[in-house]
Structures are given as structure tokens and as C-alpha cells.
Amino acid sequence: MSKQINVALIGNPNTGKTSVFNALTGLNQKVGNYPGITVEKKEGVCKLPRGVKAHIIDLPGTYSLNASSLDENVVIELLLNKNDKDFPDIAVVVSDVENLKRNLLLYTQIKDLEIPTVLVINMADRMDYKGISLDLEYLEKHLKTKIALVSTRKNQGIERLKSLIANYKDLSISHCIDLTEIDKDYFNNLQNTFPNQLIYKLWLVITQDVNFGKTDRNEIDAVANFKTKSKNDLKRLQQKETIKRYQFINDVLKNGQTIDVAHAKDLRMKIDRIITHQFWGYVIFFIILLTIFQAIYDWSSIPMDFIDTTFASLSEWTKNQLPPGTFTSLLAEGIIPGLGGIVIFIPQIAFLFLFISVLEESGYMSRVVFLMDRIMRRFGLSGKSIVPLISGTACAIPAIMATRNIENWKERLITILVTPFITCSARLPVYLIIISLVIPEGRFIGLGYQALTLMLLYLIGFGAAVSSAYILNRVLKIKSKAFFVVEMPNYKLPLLKNVAITVLEKTKSFVFGAGKIILALSIILWFLASFGPGDNFKNAEEITTKEYANQQLSSVELQQKIASHKLEHSFIGITGRAIEPAIRPLGYDWKIGIAIVSSFAAREVFVGTLATIYSVGSDEEDTIKNRMAGEVNPVLGGPLFTFASGISLLLFYAFAMQCMSTLAIVKRETYSWKWPILQLTIMTMFAYIVALIAFQLLK
């Protein structure tokens, strides 16, 4: 059995830590949450020389071990707790060759924890471009470690890094600085009181909101020698510590790093002037959004058509090849149509994640955050709220988790409450199928009406989020002087491998996460639609044949009438009829009502539910889009899905809180059912009223 070692991947944000993680692990990685909290946890496996396996944990980005957010607390608590199953045998600190001075602060802190540490200097391919040269031998000697000069773009230095990780026992664990020099009496007393504890660990416990082992802050405070240190005294000592570390870093880099400023070719400032311009910045961002939404339609049409016809054919083949019975019916009319209703949207979802990943990798997303802060501040949102709002276009759940870097509780609460208004990828299946039904395929100045409608829905969601934030800001009387700080990383060409892994992992997570719900709901819905109480359901064939005896229907038409009668008097039909009076003013029938109720489990279930309902009892399998287009309004006559009912449905899903998982995460993040219940009630009422007005005006 091969040995496995734990490797902690640590670094400042924007140092290329994810690129190093991907280079080491490839597709042998998974994403989860740290136990008991909702901070994302990325893990992977890497094969090292001599049959050694490395269990690599990609820790949240942090600038130092002086934590100011929950993400940073996660890093500190893991590094302090030797009893944790993930406690690292070796720490790999990833730095950026262009920001080495700033990155080394974190490195010197980790060295003080006496954990074997390797320093990765990433983005080495930019050294010539920036006029940077390094004396690696000098740096290794004075930083007391081994250095891997890495370029993930050119796949250089990865094998050396693997070798250094495998030989971690050869690494020095000596400190870079003597921490006790900032206050010798204080630290000597501390060491004498806790002789078996590492001095820097004790210091972190005193100054940070963390614990380790059996030694905690209360125990330290109980010692009289340390009660004399006030919070202000501790802050001053922290500042002295930081100054001392930077003095050491400056001395090392003075001889270990050379930067030819005249040689550095930097177009970044010129590009930033355009990208973040008060007028042209918004124009460029708007054009990029238009291009993305147009591409989502144009590029995905061929694979979507293929998936659509494949699932329709698979249902028909299953019916024809398997013997008639309950199991065949379940497969052909329940599971296959239900899954087909979500799989068909994989191309659009994959393209959405592709574009978001490219924008993040290139460095442009940080400029968008900076650009949009000018607008957001007027609505009472923190500048840091922009990151959750933008990431909410993928999914509200990780977006709400991302609010943990907002220090002010009220600002964080407002961001949590308004984020579900942002159009997430789960809404895409609903939007795309309805838009394709009610919006014509024409173009305006080269842009399709359907793509423009999709973009308008995104803008409506964003507008609803900032408007509700403005109202909440007034209601909750938020007074905050928080300053907005965002790092502008260098522009770079997106790394194809990183983009591919991101798209694959995010799409897989979306499909399999939704797939579990859809599979369970498809089976339940099939049962509810295939069985019913009373004689109306049991004698459906006899009743329908008698009713249409004088109309000379073909056998196919008669079977469709029988199927429709059975569906109407099934369990699901009875439930739908019960709620139909409430939704009829919105232009919906009972089938749409069932889809709306079932999609509370997850919005994307809406399409899968309709696919299941419309295929039950049908001998002739047809695509869901055609089946929906053929539905007749029971009250007004004519097509059920008209421009009026379609817009009503789009607006309902734009504003309604149709996501059980999001409510659960809001409860977890706010530690109360009060906020998610208010969120559900207000958003649903608002969605109903807007959808009602839209239908009544447009019908």
C-alpha cells in the first residue's frame, strides 16, 4: 500500500494557486465544504515519485494569518490543529513573481509554525517580460527552504515541485525571524507559562478568534501576566510583527531579486484606462454581455437539437423494445423524459460557465467588480457584494457562501437576501424553453430577439437585486464606513486547462446535483400521473370512447384523448386542478401549476416536470418544445403558451424564490429561519403580482 501525505496549498488571492492545484491534480479533484461550515473545500490527489501519493488541499486564499474573514480562519485553524486528519505534512506556499514581496509575508508566518514549507514562485514565464531576475540559490539560503520556479502556462517546474513535496522531510523547519524581539519580556513570560507550546501558535491564539488543541484564549487570559495586554497593545504588537517581517523580506529581496523597471513592458495601465472608463467601461461590459448571450444561443443550437431528438428516440425505442408494463412505462414516460428535460440544457450551461471562467482567468472580472462599485455604492451595497452578485449568475448557493468575506453583518445580510434575484444557471432551462416558444427568431442589428430577451432577463434580475438592496438599506438603517478594496491582477491569456477543468467540474456539479432531484421527482410525478382514484381514471378508455363515438377519430387521436382524460383525473391532475384557480389569472393551466410547485425543489426541475407530464400516456413521443407549443388554453382557447403567458411565466421565475436549497443555505448563513421565510414570502408575492399584471396587460 503506497504512503499518502497531506499537502496544504496556501497563497494570496490571484497568485495562480488554482493553476498549480490543477497542474498537480488534473481531474483527480473534488469540491465540498469544510465540516460544519459552508466554505468551499477543494481536494485532489497527485502521484509523486517512488509511489507516494499526495492528498492536496487547496485552502481559501489569504493575505496573512491575521484573519479578518471566515475563509482565513479556516486556513489558520487547520495549520494549528495537528489532530485534524487534513493537517499538512508539508505546506506549499504559492507566490506570484510580480508580487513576491507581498506574498512572502504569509510565507514567513507559516515558517514560524515549524511546518515543512516549499515556496512556489509562479508565473515564471513573465519574468523576461517584466524585467525580473532572481538569484534562487541566495533566496533558498536566506528563506531557509527550497524553491520551485513554476510556469503553469508552459508546464515548467511542476516535476521539480513534485520532487520537493515527496522529499519534504529534508526541508528546514527553522524560522525566518525571531518573533520574541518585538517584546522580549512578554514572549519570555508566555513561553515560560506554556513551555510545551510553539510560541507563534500561542501568539495566533491570543490575537485571532481561533483555538487549537487543549490550549485556548480563555486559558491564556487566565494567566495574570497577560491580562495587562489590552486589545490596543496587542494591535501594536501585531503591527511591530508585520514591520519586522517586511524588514526581513526587504533585506532578502535586495540581493535576491532584480527588477529592470525600464525593461518592463506594461500596457496594463493603458488598458485599464479604457476598461474602467466611466463611460466606455460600461459600453465594453455591455457588449461583452450581449456577445455571451448571443453565443449561448447560436453555438449551442446544434448539440441541443441532437440531445432533444436523441431522448425522444430513446423513449420511443424503450417502449417498442421492452415488454409492456409498469417498468417500461416508468422508463419511457418518467425517467427518460425527465432527465432529457435537463440534459438538453447542458450546452448552454457549459457555455455560460466557459465565459465566466474566461473572464475570471483573464483578469477582466476584477475590473468589472471595480467598475460596478461606482453604481453599487449608491444602493447601499458593500463593494465586496459585487463578487457574490456576479457569481450568482452561476448559482445562488456558492454566491451566498461568498458573502462570508463581508465583515459588516448588515451589509452581508442584505447581500444574502438580494442575491437570489440574480439570474442563475438553474433559471436558464426555464428561460430558454419559454423564450423559444414565445419570442420570434428574427434579428435586430445582427442580434437575435431571443438572445436580447435573455439578456433583458439578466438585467431585470440585477435591477431587482440592487433595488431591493436600496429598500433594505433604508429599512435596516445601515450605517457603514467600510472601504472597498479590490486587487487588480495582471491581464493574462486564460489557461486552457484551467478553463476546461472549471467548465467540466461546474457543469458536472450542476447536472448531477439537479439530476438526483429530477430522477426522484420524475419517478414520483410519473406515479402521480399514471395512477388515480375513482372510476373516472379506471374507466378512462370506456368514458372517452363513448364521448367521442360520433366524431370518427383515428386510433392515434383517440389514444391521445384517452391519455389526456387519464392525466386530468390522475393524482397529479387532481392536485393541479385544485391550485388552478390561483394561477389561472396569470395565464397558466394546471400542468404549469404542477411544474411550478415541483420546481421549488430546484428551478430547473420545471422543464423536466413538464417533459414527464406531457409524455405520460402518449404513444407518439414528441419533443417537449412541440408538445408545449401544441397546448391549448382551457379558458381563452388558442395556444396556452402565448406572448402574454410566456412573459408572465418568465417574470414569475425572474422574481420568485423557487429554490429549496437556496433557502436552506440562507438559513444556515443567517442562523435563523426568520430571514429565509421572509425572503420566500416577499419574493413569491412580488413574483405573483408582477406576473399577474404582465399577463393582464398583454393578453
**Whether residue 516 has pLDDT greater than 60:** yes
pLDDT of residue 38: 42
pTM reported for the whole predicted model:
0.63
Which pLDDT tens digit goes with each residue over 178-229? 888 888 888 888 888 888 888 888 888 888 765 555 445 555 555 534 445 6
Query: Roughly what angle, to the nearest 10 degrees, separates helices 231-256 and 199-207?
Result: 130
Which of 279-288, 564-573, 582-591, 652-661 has the weakest average pLDDT? 564-573
* 452's grid cell: 436580447
pLDDT of residue 399: 73
pLDDT of residue 95: 92
With bands split at pLDDT 50, 70 and 90, how would you rate the model's confidence at 619?
very low
3-class DSSP state for residue 318?
helix
Give percent of the chain with pLDDT exceeding 90.
14
pLDDT of residue 394: 67
Residues 6+ apart with CB under 8 A from 377: 383, 484
With bands split at pLDDT 50, 70 and 90, how would you rate the model's confidence at 250?
very high
Residue type, 80: L
Which of 68-72, 308-312, 415-419, 595-599 has the weakest average pLDDT? 68-72
Which of 9-13, 224-228, 471-475, 667-671 has the weakest average pLDDT? 224-228
Which pLDDT tens digit goes with each residue over 358-368? 887 888 877 87
More confident: 356 or 697: 697
Q: How high does pLDDT run on average in the chain? A: 79
Which pLDDT tens digit goes with each residue over 673-693? 888 899 999 999 999 999 999
Tracing cell 459600453 back to the chain, one arrives at 283
pLDDT of residue 695: 92
Q: What is the dihedral of CA 479, 72, 462, 339, to 10 degrees?
A: -150
Buried residues in 579-607 as b, exposed as e (16+ CB within 10 A): ebeebbebbbbbbbbbbbbbbbbbbbbbb
With bands split at pLDDT 50, 70 and 90, how would you rate the model's confidence at 91?
very high
pLDDT of residue 620: 43
Domains, the chain: 4-170 (3.40.50.300), 179-259 (no CATH), 280-475 (no CATH), 510-698 (no CATH)
With bands split at pLDDT 50, 70 and 90, how would you rate the model's confidence at 481?
low
Which pLDDT tens digit goes with each residue over 375-419? 777 777 766 677 677 767 766 776 776 676 666 777 788 889 999
Task: Give mean pLDDT, residues 101-121.
Answer: 92
Task: Give mean pLDDT, residues 91-96.
Answer: 93
Q: Distance between CA atoms of 427 and 546, rounded to whole angstroms?
A: 43
Give percent of the chain with pLDDT exceeding 70.
81
